[in-house]
Structure formats: C-alpha cells, structure tokens
Amino acid sequence: MEKTIHGRPYIETKKGPVLTPCAPNSVLARLGDKWTILVMSILALEPARALRFSEIKNGIPDISQRMLTLTLRNLERDGLVIRHYFAEIPPRVEYELTPMGNTMLPALEGFTGWIRDNWRAIEQARQRYDAARSD
C-alpha cells in the first residue's frame, strides 16, 4: 500500500519503507539548484515586467554569464521561464516566469524562509561536527 511522507510517496516492504519516484531526479535537482532559486527569485521581484539578461546577471552576485545562460535555458526547457527575443539592432532578449513558474513561488518562499531561519544553526552544527572529527 502506498503512503506519503511530506508529499513524498513510499511503500512499506518486509525490509522497511522504500521511497518511490514522484518526479524524475533531474527535476528535483534543477529545482533545488542554487542558481535556479536565485534566477526565479529575481524574476519574481517584478512579475509584471520581463527582465533583460543583464538585469538578471547584475542582480545575482557571483553568477557567471555561462551559468546564467545554462540556468535560463534549462528553466525555459522545463516550462518555468519564457524567453522573448526581439529582432532589433542590437538584439534584445528578455525573460519572465511562466504561469507554471509562478506557481512554484510559494514553495520557493517556504524553502528559502526555512534556510533563512536555520542557516546559522546549520553553520554551528557544521563547526561542531568538524571540530569533533579533527581531534
């Protein structure tokens, strides 16, 4: 019989609980990626306005042009971001969240809020762990 824990399906077997696939690992990896979270967050700041590539890059410290390009391309492929190309001189490209991308924002807010509330405790736990292992 299939059950769920925090929305994640699993089955009880004789050897114990076994998680069952609820989404391809590639989707989970993409949505949990730090650059994905930052790109979606910057696009969510002004949902009524598409942002140019340079605006997104300027709003995310330390992201390389290549990583931003890959992240935007993957988000577009996944249907979370739409790319608008304007055949002008010079060409102009703008990005915005799709309706499906917008539906991810509440989950993203919950996840980033949890990180914000707990990152100091995580850092302290890491320091304690590392100190105990270095003896």
Low-confidence ranges of the chain (pLDDT < 70): 1, 22-26, 28-29
CA distance 99 to 75: 13
Residue ranges in 1-135 assigned as alpha helix (H): 25-31, 34-45, 53-59, 65-77, 99-103, 105-133
Helix (H/G/I), strand (E/B), else coil: 3 = strand
pLDDT (0 to 100) of residue 19: 76
pTM metric for this prediction: 0.76
Instruction: Report the DSSP beta bridge partners of residue 3.
Output: 10
Name the residue among 48, 44, 46 with its Cα closest to residue 75.
44
CA distance 123 to 110: 20
